[in-house]
Amino acid sequence: MTTGQALLMGLVEGITEYLPVSSTGHLLLTQRLLGIDTIGNNTAAITAYEICIQSGAILAVLFLYAGRVRTVLAGVFGRNQVGRHLAFNLVVAFLPAAIIGLLFEKVIKGHLFGMWPVVTAWLIGGIAILLVAGRTTVSRDGNLGLQLENLTISKALIIGCLQCIAMWPGVSRSLVTILGGTLVGLSGIAAIEFSFLLGLITLSAATLFEAFKHGPEMIQALGIINPLVGLATACVSAIIAIKWMVAYLSRSGLALFGYYRIALGTIVACLMFLGFM
């Protein structure tokens, strides 16, 4: 992997991680186009690289939502009741994905990490967005609905269960958690914020898991510079993408992302069917 390829991968990760278009699907597509599906016949190294550059996206949320993160941390240490309630809900929402991920990691990676499963998820997700976009509060009134302080444990668990669907590459964790949040009654702004905070926990856990499991292989295959380049690029691009998405969804709906997913899935499917990929 060249430094330019590392930079491009970081850019793709940062832009797509929090948009409802699937960062994993875009990274798999980028690898295919760049011809870096494996590095020296070492699939684990490139997989670990994909996960570890998510650290950049994690840093972006820590930067943009520092106040909310401090509230959660204060709650963890018993110094803020609102923060404690939110922290507990985040843990409840995180557990389903953690359990399913640990139990079915090999099955998921063995059967779903391919372009045809990704294309299928893009198309189905795009259609789902167009079907339900008009029924959510994301684009109507960002403050219409429950705030995070009013989210119940049962509703947090529903969002967490829906997050498990995003283990299918191409689905998009942001998509299912934002839609899940609005469907259980959260305001659009609250649903987006909860999605970002839940992603902070989920991505951190995945990053630490992959770094512990395949970190040495990644460093041996890629060195130090390229992962740092990818991480830094992912952080900056994620900050820009998050700000744009929050501003866009405050005045428009999710339909744009539905059309994008359908168009991208159709184009990639045609290219693969014709043998160009």
What are φ and ψ of residue 137, in 5° steps? -95, 5
Residue of higher predicted confidence among 110 and 169: 169
pLDDT tens, 108-154? 888 888 899 999 999 999 998 888 765 554 544 555 678 888 899 99
pLDDT at 59: 93
Residue of higher predicted confidence among 105 and 140: 105
Copy the structure tokens of residue 7: 């930079």
Copy the structure tokens of residue 224: 């130090």
Please determine, for residue 235, whether its predicted confidence score (pLDDT) is greater than 90.
Answer: yes
- State the Cα–Cα distance between residues 263 and 42, nearest whole angstrom: 32
pLDDT at 137: 47
What is the residue range of 14's domain? 3-273
pLDDT at 138: 53
Q: What is the mean pLDDT of the chain?
A: 87
Count of structural domains within the chain: 1
3-state secondary structure string across the chain: CCHHHHHHHHHHHHHHCCCCCCHHHHHHHHHHHHCCCCECCEHHHHHHHHHHCHHHHHHHHHHHCHHHHHHHHHHHCCCCHHHHHHHHHHHHHHHHHHHHHHHHHHHHHHHCCCHHHHHHHHHHHHHHHHHHHHHCCCCCCCCCCECHHHCCHHHHHHHHHHHHHHHCCCCCHHHHHHHHHHHCCECHHHHHHHHHHHHHHHHHHHHHHHHHHHHHHHHHHHCCHHHHHHHHHHHHHHHHHHHHHHHHHCCCCCHHHHHHHHHHHHHHHHHHHCCCC
